[in-house]
């Protein structure tokens, strides 16, 4: 596995998450377990030329044009929409070189607008939930739209996933991709401050999809940007991900109440079905009689990641599918990752390959600050103030085992 990430300055770092010595020790074990599993792995190198093309994908009801950009290194091919800066397709080879799209999505804009549970979306302003859609900042209370039970989810009713982003191609000697920009007006979805977000998705020759987030505001605000790609490494529409193996560099997680709002507790994973420090099949314990799995209908939880290196980057996760051998490794500057096993997919619509998606047909690894952080002073802060620059980086590395 390649840890050779570009060094980046993270202006807003994770902050103290107060892990115990036991948790830190477990983390070390995870790190060595991770490097031993990775020694037999091959990430491969894209030997082809870096290429990018653009086509019209559709039009919004308001007449705005939505484009699809497709970029490749000859081995991995990514398609992205200007709608929601959405990862529409990720095509990667299996261990015998057979390529498949490993990300859930649609082939038309209407389905993204009407049906998508954030398939591949860039999510903002605030990934995951804010309790009752309320938070208080500098003595003022803000009310956000309620769109998930009693809470506000993924930035409200019309979040960044439902906006058309400006796109600009970026190309270097070693990487190709697109920079997406969206300017959210002061007060949009109830959030204070005009927020300018720039998210650059680049694919390099080592099969790394780098996602670099950058944001500035003109008033104090909160934000939590992420990408909501749903993976099935056997190919989208190929059925359950129960047999996928997952490893998380996470000694703790944040338990939730019945509405999926964190209780505020940072709970060690030891002895629970949330312990993925050693590689474990996602389905191995998903049906266990654990109250948190009942509440989530499976995994739908924020995991507290191990400490970052000097460059601010931490290994978050690794997953692979034993039959095809396809793997994905996640590095991030974010302190958490939401592991979501597609629990609310109910087979009621068909995806890009014509197959319906059912519960447990995909998993998400949404790198993030913790859900509902504005209401939990013990969580790393999600506040951004004028004059500060928000930067965050997540890298998905595609390979085979």
Residue 53's Cα: distance from chain center in Å?
Answer: 25
DSSP string, 360-372: TS-EEEEEESPTT
The number of helices, as runs of H, and strands, as runs of E, in the chain is: 3, 30
C-alpha separations of 2 from 34, 42, 44, 128, 396 in Å: 12, 9, 10, 29, 11
Query: Could you count the other beta carbons within 10 Å of the beta carbon of residue 136?
Result: 10
| Residue in this structure with the two tokens 């909501």, named with its chain if needed | 228
Answer yes or no whether residue 128 interacts with ligand BGC by CB under 6 A. Answer: yes
Cβ atoms of residues 17 and 335 within 8 Å: yes
| Smallest distance, ligand BGC to C-beta of residue 367, A | 11
| Residue ranges in 239-268 that form contacts with ligand BGC under rule CB under 6 A | 260
CA distance 113 to 95: 35
CB of 343 to ligand BGC, least distance (A): 7
CA–CA gap between residue 66 and residue 77 (Å, rounded): 19
* 252-254 sheet: strands from edge to edge: 230-231, 363-368, 336-340, 300-304, 252-254, 267-268
Q: Judged by CB under 6 A, does residue 71 bind ligand BGC?
A: no
Site for ligand BGC in 156-215 (CB under 6 A): none
Q: Which residue has the tokens 């799209």?
A: 101
**Which of 300, 321, 334, 372 is the binder for ligand BGC (CB under 6 A)?**
300
Q: Which of 338, 373, 392, 394 binds ligand BGC (CB under 6 A)?
A: 338
Name the minimum Å distance from CB 400 to ligand BGC. 27
CA distance 177 to 127: 23
Q: Which residues contact 362 (CB under 8 A, 6 or more apart)?
A: 104, 230, 231, 232, 236, 241, 341, 342, 345
- Which residue from 377, 382, 355 is spatially nearest to 266, judged by alpha carbons? 377
**Of residues 296 and 306, the one with the C-beta less far from ligand BGC:** 296
Taking CB under 6 A as the criterion, the residue among 94, 161, 361, 366 binding ligand BGC is: 366
Q: Which is nearer to ligand BGC, 50 or 153 (CB)?
A: 153
Q: Please identify, among the stretches 103-111, 194-202, 241-249, 336-344, the one whose residues bind ligand BGC according to the rule CB under 6 A.
A: 336-344
Q: How far is the CB of 301 from ligand BGC (least distance, A)?
A: 8
Q: If DSSP codes are grouped into helix, strand and coil, which group holds residue 78? A: strand
Does position 344 interact with ligand BGC (CB under 6 A)? The reply is yes
Task: Decide: is 288 part of the binding site for ligand BGC (CB under 6 A).
Answer: no
Binding of ligand BGC by 274 (CB under 6 A): no
Q: Is the bond preceding residue 125 a cis peptide, omega within 30 degrees? A: yes
Annotation marks residue 91 as catalytic: no
Chosen residue from 340, 357, 363, 370 binding ligand BGC by CB under 6 A: 340
Q: Tell me if 30 contacts ligand BGC by CB under 6 A.
A: no
Q: Which stretch binds ligand BGC (CB under 6 A): 21-29, 57-65, 245-253, 337-345?
A: 337-345
Question: Would you say 12 or 301 has its CB closer to ligand BGC?
Answer: 301
Does 1 bind ligand BGC (CB under 6 A)? Our answer is no
Q: Which member of 228, 301, 331, 369 is catalytic?
A: 228
Nearer to ligand BGC, 41 or 81 (CB): 81
Q: Does 151 bind ligand BGC (CB under 6 A)?
A: no
- Cβ proximity to ligand BGC: between 188 and 372 the closer is 372
Residues 153, 156, 159, 161, Cα dihedral to 10°: 30
Q: What are phi and psi of 33, to 5 degrees?
A: -60, -40
91, 188, 321, 366: which is the annotated catalytic residue?
366
- Closest CB 340 distance from ligand BGC, rounded Å: 4
Could you say which of 118, 119, 231, 379 contacts ligand BGC (CB under 6 A)?
A: 118
Is position 228 annotated as part of the catalytic site?
yes
Active site residues: 228, 366
Q: Under the rule (CB under 6 A), what is the footprint of ligand BGC?
A: 117-118, 128, 260, 300, 338, 340, 344, 366
């Amino acid at each position: 596995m390649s840890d050779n990430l570009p060094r980046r300055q993270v202006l807003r770092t994770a902050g103290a998450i107060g892990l115990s010595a036991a948790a830190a020790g477990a983390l070390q074990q995870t790190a060595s377990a991770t490097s031993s599993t990775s020694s037999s792995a091959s990430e491969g190198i894209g030997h082809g030329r870096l290429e990018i093309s653009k086509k019209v994908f559709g039009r919004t009801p308001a007449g705005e044009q939505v484009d699809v950009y497709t970029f490749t290194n000859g081995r991995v091919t990514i398609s992205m929409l200007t709608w929601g800066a959405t990862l529409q397709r990720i095509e990667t080879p299996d261990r015998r070189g057979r390529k498949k799209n490993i990300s859930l999505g649609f082939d038309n804009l209407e389905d993204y607008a009407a049906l998508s549970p954030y398939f591949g979306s860039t999510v903002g302003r605030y990934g995951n939930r804010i309790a009752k859609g309320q938070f208080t900042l500098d003595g003022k209370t803000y009310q956000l739209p309620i769109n998930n039970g009693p809470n506000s989810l993924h930035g409200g009713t019309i979040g960044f996933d439902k906006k058309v982003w400006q796109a600009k191609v970026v190309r270097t000697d070693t990487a190709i991709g697109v920079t997406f920009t969206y300017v959210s007006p002061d007060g949009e979805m109830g959030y204070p401050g005009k927020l300018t977000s720039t998210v650059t998705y680049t694919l390099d020759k080592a099969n790394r999809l780098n996602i670099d987030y950058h944001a500035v505001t003109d008033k104090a605000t909160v934000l939590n940007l992420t990408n909501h790609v749903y993976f099935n490494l056997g190919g989208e529409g190929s059925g359950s991900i129960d047999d996928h193996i997952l490893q998380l560099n996470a000694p703790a997680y944040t338990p939730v109440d019945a509405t999926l709002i964190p209780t505020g507790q940072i709970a060690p994973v030891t002895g629970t079905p949330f312990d993925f420090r050693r590689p474990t099949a996602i389905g191995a314990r998903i049906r266990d009689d654990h109250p948190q799995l009942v509440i989530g209908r499976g995994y739908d939880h924020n995991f507290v990641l191990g400490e970052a290196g000097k460059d601010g980057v931490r290994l978050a996760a690794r997953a692979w599918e034993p039959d095809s051998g396809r793997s994905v490794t996640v590095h991030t500057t974010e302190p958490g990752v939401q592991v979501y096993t597609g629990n609310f997919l109910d087979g009621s619509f068909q995806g890009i390959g014509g197959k319906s998606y059912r519960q447990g047909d995909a998993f998400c690894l949404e790198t993030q600050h913790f859900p509902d952080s504005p209401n939990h002073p013990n969580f790393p802060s999600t506040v951004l103030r004028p004059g500060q620059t928000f930067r965050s980086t997540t890298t998905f590395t595609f390979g085979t085992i």
